[in-house]
């Protein structure tokens, strides 16, 4: 039983050999190549289909006079104020802070925290909301 095999391959060299610095590429190699052409610019062709004209009326905190996209009737939007996301966040923060004796409902009563939801009074279609 002789286990005198080959020595491990990493044990043969103990000398400090520095690799020769890589030779810089010659200029003819660097310049002679094909230069980068103009950068790729995607061409967006405008679709010339039938244009759908939508009258976007900015919804404000008040009732807005507009044409309902659902029933196409002219009306003033019916507004409804509901506590917005800020009110819920502020309320939950107040709850975490320990003010849970009704104080967490304060943001829901502050007008600036309320979102105004617009609905069509004729057909009841939801038209959007105004976030303060
Ligand atoms: Zn409507």
Contact between residue 90 and residue 132 where contact means Cβ atoms under 8 Å apart: no
* Domain presence at residue 126: yes
Phi, psi (rounded to 5 degrees) for 15: -80, 155
Handedness of CA 9, 11, 12, 14 (dihedral sign): positive
* Domain presence at residue 36: no
In angstroms, what is the span from residue 14 Cα to ligand 1's centroid? 88
> What are the strands, taking DSSP E only, across 1-132?
65-67, 74-76, 78-83, 114-119, 126-130
* Domain presence at residue 77: yes
* Predicted pLDDT of residue 16: 62
Q: What is the pLDDT of residues 42-63, one digit of tens each?
A: 666 655 666 555 556 678 888 9
Q: What is the pLDDT of residues 74-101, one digit of tens each?
A: 999 999 988 878 788 888 888 777 766 6
Q: Ligand 1 being an ion, which residues bring their Cβ within 5 A of it?
A: 68, 70-71, 120, 122-123, 125
* Predicted pLDDT of residue 114: 82
* Predicted pLDDT of residue 98: 72
Dist. CA 126–CA 68, nearest whole Å: 9
Structural domain including 124 reads 57-132
* Domain presence at residue 120: yes
Among 30-34, 57-61, 66-70, 122-126, name the one with the lowest average pLDDT: 30-34
In this structure, what is the dihedral angle of CA atoms 79, 85, 86, 92, given to the nearest 10 degrees? 130
* Domain presence at residue 122: yes
Mean pLDDT of the chain: 74
* Domain presence at residue 85: yes
Number of structural domains, the chain? 1
Residue corresponding to tokens 């405008």: 46
* Domain presence at residue 33: no
């Amino acid at each position: 039983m002789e286990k005198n095999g080959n020595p491990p391959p990493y044990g043969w060299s103990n000398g400090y050999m520095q690799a020769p610095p890589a030779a810089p590429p010659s200029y003819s190699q660097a310049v002679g190549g094909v230069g980068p052409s103009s950068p790729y610019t995607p061409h967006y062709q405008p679709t010339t289909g039938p244009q759908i004209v939508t009258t976007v009326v900015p919804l404000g905190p008040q009732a807005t006079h507009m044409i309902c996209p659902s029933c196409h009737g002219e009306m003033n939007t019916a507004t409804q104020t509901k506590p917005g996301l800020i009110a819920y966040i502020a309320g939950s923060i107040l709850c975490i802070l320990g003010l849970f004796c009704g104080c967490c409902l304060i943001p829901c009563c502050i007008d600036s925290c309320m979102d105004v939801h617009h609905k069509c009074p004729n057909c009841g279609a939801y038209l959007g909301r105004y976030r303060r």
